[in-house]
Amino acid sequence: MKPSVADVRLTSYNKDVYEPSDDSFALVDALQQHDWTSFSPDVCLEVGCGSGYVICSVAKMLSQHGLRAQVLASDISSAALEATQETLVAHGVADVELIQGDLLKPLIPRFQHQVDLLIFNPPYVPTPDDELTRTDIARAWAGGNRGRAIIDKFLPQVKEVLSPRGFMYMVTVTDNRPEDILQLLSNDDIEGKVILERAADEEALRILCCWRRHERDAEGHH
């Protein structure tokens, strides 16, 4: 049975906070398809939590599988963190730590190779580079050239926090060149694949799932 997820009607957002959209739903669908029966994460972290719809869904998945984990959500936007807090309260979810900061920077010193589930729905929309300096809601979607400006800052940080048995789920669109993203991660001994493809309004979503190469090869899982 598929675990239930956050209720979009109980999810907070406003003009400054990204409304749960097709990309958010595709990401949650991909996470639902994860094999939770053989996975018991100790640390789960969503970067760029926005409304909190995704991390709240993850908290519900954990609880439905009887799993206890340290759950954290971060965003660069204080409005997003306030919305996430409201969304968590509306769903009766406690014990999610909220952190304001730029990508994984504030978390790397604390979670070296410790994050078992890392999640990011980045600003991936291709835009002119001057959109990148905006501090309003554009920060939720503006991705610069090929939509890769924020993604390419995030990728080298992944190896710092991902645990040996960890998984990283990230939203991309075909404009971001997901195969090229997988190649860049592969240079850090992180491998992965597109686990969900979905056509949405004017974009072709590709959800990536990635893991450290050596551990799982040795176990013969992939």
Ligand X SMILES: C[S@@+](CC[C@H](N)C(=O)[O-])C[C@H]1O[C@@H](n2cnc3c(N)ncnc32)[C@H](O)[C@@H]1O
**Site residues, ligand X (CB under 6 A):** 18, 20, 24, 27, 47-51, 53-54, 75-77, 80, 102-103, 121, 123, 139-141, 150
Is the dihedral angle over the CA atoms 22, 74, 158, 67 positive or is it negative?
A: negative
CB of 78 to ligand X, least distance (A): 10
Q: Which is nearer to ligand X, 26 or 43 (CB)?
A: 26
The widest CA-to-CA distance across the chain, in whole angstroms, is: 48
Burial of 53 (0-12, 13-18, 19+ CB in 10 A): buried
CB of 219 to ligand X, least distance (A): 30
- 132 phi, psi to nearest 5 deg: -70, -20
Cα 156 to Cα 83: distance, rounded to the nearest angstrom: 28
CB of 32 to ligand X, least distance (A): 14
CB of 51 to ligand X, least distance (A): 6
CB of 221 to ligand X, least distance (A): 27
Q: Which is nearer to ligand X, 102 or 175 (CB)?
A: 102
Q: Which is nearer to ligand X, 10 or 165 (CB)?
A: 10
CB of 42 to ligand X, least distance (A): 22
Q: Which is nearer to ligand X, 99 or 216 (CB)?
A: 99
First to last CA, the chain: 24
Cα 7 to Cα 70: distance, rounded to the nearest angstrom: 22
CB of 173 to ligand X, least distance (A): 11
In terms of Cα–Cα distance, which of 107, 154, 111, 146 is closest to 129? 146
Q: Which is nearer to ligand X, 105 or 222 (CB)?
A: 105
Residues whose CB is less than 8 angstroms from the CB of residue 180 and which lie 6 or more positions away in sequence, other chains included: none
Give the torsion through C-alpha atoms of 80, 83, 87, 89, to 10 deg: 120
Q: Which is nearer to ligand X, 74 or 163 (CB)?
A: 74
- 32 phi, psi to nearest 5 deg: -65, -30
Q: Which is nearer to ligand X, 120 or 211 (CB)?
A: 120
